[in-house]
Structure 1
Amino acid sequence: MPSRPPDTASDAVSDTASDAAICVAPAVPADTAPGRLPAGLSAGLPAALLCDMDGTLVDTEREWLLAVAALLDEEGLPSGEAALAPFAGATLADSAARLIEQHGLRATREELFSRLDGDFTRRVAAGVAVQPGALAFLDRARALGVPTALVTASERHLTDLVLETLGAHRFDLTVAGTEGGRSKPYPDPYLAAATRLGADPADCLAVEDTPTGAAAALAAGCRLLAVPTVPGIEPGPRTLFAASLVGLDPAALPLSGSLPA
């Protein structure tokens, strides 16, 4: 989410969840199992690990969607699954523009940006839950000597709040909001992180939970470990699905398919 209010509408595509069913994570696609590699055959150690934050490492995607739902409720607008779907993984800038262009709110983007940012920041400051297996997964990457970056669409001030929980020492660098150029679903933040780590994006493993983030990682040329919190990430030859990060080893992951829950 950009560190300043938006000045242009975004054409970015975002994705999915609901205020009533935000915690209902979709099952990994059943039709990806045929794409799994034979047992014991892995893609090898990635040149770098590039991790999304909200929803992937911490359960803040829920808080973000609750903030959007609260604003929609205040404006007397629907705030169910269909209404919230485009906001999952979206930036503050894109969300403020969407509220005006698609929901018809009569407010400036700056005003909506500020309202969303304030509510979401308060929710994050109250405390965030780390996703199961996230810290062990990051620590294993560090033990293996894999450079690790946090690549998030969240604002810098929100990112720094969450880093107090995750531990900044677990990351070699962080790319927040538009610090790497255009934010997700554009590839810019992943390309920026890979470049700063001196790694070829094709040799990097990105970890994402939403279609918006997945689109960014794949467009950058990264391999993708998808741990969905909302529906919509499509199977593909560079996409591996997992139900959670529990027990995963960055050095022993197949190229694609689905890992058993």
Structure 2
Amino acid sequence: MDGTIVDSEPYWMRAETELVESFGGVWTHSDGMLLVGSGLWGSASILQGRGVALDADAIVNRLTDRVQELLRDFGPPWRPGALPLLTELKRAGVPMALVTMSTERMARQVADLVGFAAFDTIVAGDMVTNSKPHPEAYLSAAGHLGVDPDRCIAVEDSLPGIAAAVASGAVVIGVPHMIPLPASAHYDLWPTLSGRTLAGFTAVFGARRDRPERTPIQPDSESADNEDVSNA
């Protein structure tokens, strides 16, 4: 969701900066980049290390409240091509899941702002035990859609998200935004979703499904006809 469908990272950066500064600390752009694609509760520990004297749940709630407020005040900054692509996929009857490490309440807010019921299911960070790069969220999404993960395409903008999606067995397309993504045999890279269509997904799926390099990447222990597309 964040960075793939909506360019909400500046909102998160603003919320993080305000929170850290309210405790007398300093938060830089480089600090914010450390959190891209990570689970909120893991991010909370980094913010605690910068002096935020709150427990993890309180940090997650404060950040989410602020980002949701910014979304209400300024609207969702849609990523190029995201809405036209969602519209085409929905019209074609392609089942879709929104897979994000943001909270469920924020994910539902963004889903509602799309303007139509794009997603058949939502899997958010407070709905899973293991954050990305663990594949739990993607495996859960495929389960809710009633399909095998290897019948899915996942679209991701971050390395933790890509690792999670690849480990689930899905075909993966990386669309870099805030952080560059290295070329890899494990996924395809698109510079943008602008101009992308269902035909493009079908082509990637057909080319990828039988390649030997689709063997799932194991996540870090610490940290087609009618294909299914999961957006994160």
TM-score normalised per structure 2: 0.78
Aligned-pair identity in percent equals: 33
Give me the CA root mean square deviation.
Answer: 2.1
Superposed CA deviations along residues 212-258 of structure 1, whole A, max 9, x for unmatched, are 211211121211111111225332223121221111123334357xx
Matched residue, 1:130: 78
Alignment pair present for 1:89 and 2:37: yes
Contact 2:98 2:119 in 1 (8 A): yes
Alignment pair present for 1:197 and 2:127: no
Alignment pair present for 1:172 and 2:120: yes
Q: 1:248 to 1:58 in 2, by over 3 A?
A: same
Q: Mind listing any 5+ residue stretches in structure 2 that lack a counterpart?
A: 209-232
CA distance in 2, matches of 1:142, 1:88: 28
CA deviation after TM superposition for structure 1 residue 74, in Å: 2.8
> Which of 116, 134, 148 is residue 63 of structure 2 equivalent to?
116
TM-score normalised per structure 1: 0.70
Contact 2:156 2:173 in 1 (8 A): yes
Residue type matched to 2:120 in 1?
D
CA deviation after TM superposition for structure 1 residue 206, in Å: 0.4
CA deviation after TM superposition for structure 1 residue 62, in Å: 2.1
CA distance in 1, matches of 2:93, 2:64: 36
Greater share of helix: 2
Superposed CA deviations along residues 144-184 of structure 1, whole A, max 9, x for unmatched, are 33211111111121112112211351122221223244232
Alignment pair present for 1:146 and 2:94: yes
CA distance in 1, matches of 2:96, 2:153: 10
CA deviation after TM superposition for structure 1 residue 104, in Å: 4.3
Following superposition, which runs of at least 4 residues in structure 1 exceed 6 angstroms of deviation?
none
Contact 2:39 2:101 in 1 (8 A): yes
Matched residue, 1:5: none
CA distance in 2, matches of 1:124, 1:248: 26
Contact 2:111 2:118 in 1 (8 A): no
Q: Looking at both structures, which has the greater relative contact order when contacts are Cα pairs under 8 Å and sequence separation is at least 6?
A: 1
Q: Mind listing any 5+ residue stretches in structure 1 that lack a counterpart?
A: 1-52, 257-261
